[in-house]
Amino acid sequence: MIHYFNTLKVFTFVLHPWLVCKLTDMHPSILLNVCMCCFAGAGQDVGRSCILVSIGGKNIMLDCGMHMGYNDDRRFPDFSYITQNGRLTEFLDCVIISHFHLDHCGALPYMSEMVGYDGPIYMTHPTKAICPILLEDFRKITVDKKGETNFFTSQMIKDCMKKVVPLNLHQTVQVDEELEIKAYYAGHVLGAAMVQIKVGSESVVYTGDYNMTPDRHLGAAWIDKCRPDLLISESTYATTIRDSKRCRERDFLKKVHETVERGGKVLIPVFALGRAQELCILLETFWERMNLKAPIYFSTGLTEKANHYYKLFITWTNQKIRKTFVQRNMFEFKHIKAFDRSYADNPGPMVVFATPGMLHAGQSLLIFKKWAGNEKNMVIMPGYCVQGTVGHKILNGQKKLEMEGRATVIIGTLDVKLQVEYMSFSAHADAKGIMQLIRMAEPRNMLLVHGEAKKMEFLKDKIEQEFSISCYMPANGETTSIVTNPSVPVDISLNLLKREMALGGPLPDAKRPRTMHGTLIMKDNSLRLVSPEQALKELGLSEHQLRFTCRVQLHDPHSDNDTLGRIYTHLKSVLKTYSIQHVPDGTVIVESIVIKVTSSAEEPNLKVILLSWSYQDEELGSFLSTLLKKGLPS
């Protein structure tokens, strides 16, 4: 029986023992929600991370970075993917920044102040503190030293940071009535966070950059078993399984020591915070143990800033540093001194940490130019270098480099004679770490970003094979749509459950759900499943019955009444357990099924058998129509 009321509709449910049911006949917008991801940056590319996620009717921008390898329009994300004209405020519910590296936050003032966005920008407390310093350093290099125009100003950085809302780890933040976000520890650098975005029962986790291995100053990334509909993960080292950290550290110290012993200079390009502190702690300990005298320098100002922020955010470091911090600050170095530009011309060995880490600008590039011509010297690249940077070029064996001056004018060629070493101290998860995170979170779908296409393809196949989940790797400008199937909680009346159990059959089993029928009442944003009788009584409505009708044609030379009598006799012999009546008004009735016979004057031998039945006898009605299509026995 299907009941139609003004405010009700009958739906089919899957009955689970914990009384939570899944709607299987609701409107598609409720049943099948689509999570969409559009890529303005970091799609099959490292750098310029910028992802637009649409989930449950909400639009969230994940990171807003710049590309280190470009000095033209390609430096910043293409926001025309979001809107062709007008401010972004109308299209975005919020922006989330995972950490302070420029390939994740470098375009933020451009996006908010030059393109136009007035909504909330979420990031952790350490990221909020460090981000404007790095943005200002980047602006000085680009505008003051290189003379570029069409760039954000110092005031724009300040105005942008006024829109920032700080996040605490494991704190659920309600962006609006429906959208909530939660930050998890990501390792990688001070303040880096993975973020869970939730709208109703749908969720997405974005990792940003993360590291599953603890190091000398930070812990390993962690997330609970949140089972998101989609996990968006970086894949910088998609095909790499790094060797043991201890072996890497030993090789690093050996190469530095050998170069210094032969009178050479060692340049270690690093970013201001992160790997710099990791390697400084390593060299400080080694210099102390070996009683070495060669000077170690760090770019001016950055040591003091790093110390300040590590003291301020000591809770974000690893357990060992937190324990020993009161007795001794690991970031106050005895052997590492502030670097002055004039020191680069000093004779004799030295080790210099200089920013930035990819040799694309700044102090590290200036020192590299001075030392590149001497084969005694060495440059050690401790992290990933984006295509187009000087770091990427020398790691690929390029021995002659065209050097740019102001406004990107080529001013000459540089011969590279010094030794070039790559030693991965990068704080990105390797392939093993990415698989480990998938086991932790147990996502229903996977999406890879922030990596190179060929390597991502390899990891994609491995993920699909090992976890039997769909994995995507869209390029910039592409949109990926993922269908989600959220569970909708429904209260079920006790009478309906008792009636269901009285019908017999197997007990409800979570692994083998079974179908039950009832009337769904939607009222005050809640759903209740009750028996049709209870729904009629509660709402004071009368019942309407819907009947199904079927026509079967057959050739029979007898009169209509005789044909009906033959049908009655045939059904009595087939359906022995059913109540079958031959009614004087010219019908045969089986349960709720009514059978009539008619014929036309033009062709009296062609009989039309009409069958009509109610909803509860649908199976029997289908059986009888099939039976009569085969004809009557002679």
Q: Known catalytic residues?
A: 234
The answer to whether the peptide bond before residue 356 is cis (omega within 30 degrees of 0) is yes
> How many CB atoms are located within 10 Å of the residue 159 CB?
14
CA distance 261 to 570: 107
Q: Are strands 202-206 and 230-234 parallel, antiparallel or unpaired?
A: parallel
> CA gyration radius for the chain?
36
- CA distances 209 to 187, 236, 242, 490, Å, are 8, 9, 17, 39
Q: Enumerate residues 6+ apart whose C-beta is below 8 A from 426.
A: 236, 237, 275, 382, 383, 384
User: What is the three-class DSSP state of 282?
Assistant: helix
How do 400-404 and 410-415 pair as beta strands? Answer: antiparallel
Residue holding tokens 């940003």? Answer: 208
Is the Cβ–Cβ distance between 77 and 50 less than 8 Å?
yes
For residue 20, how far is the Cα from the chain centroid? 27
Partner residues linked to 231 by β-bridges: 205, 446
Axis-axis angle for helices 560-574, 618-629 (nearest 10):
120
Structure tokens at 324: 């020993």
Distance (Å, rounded) from C-alpha 343 to C-alpha 539? 88
d(CA 327, CA 412): 52
Residue 460 burial by Cβ neighbours in a 10 Å radius (0-12, 13-18, 19+)? buried
Q: Output phi, psi for 483, to 5 deg.
A: -80, 130
**DSSP readout, 47-85?**
S--EEEEEETTEEEEE-----TT-SSGGGS--GGGT-SS
Using an 8 Å Cβ cutoff, are 44 and 36 in contact? Answer: no
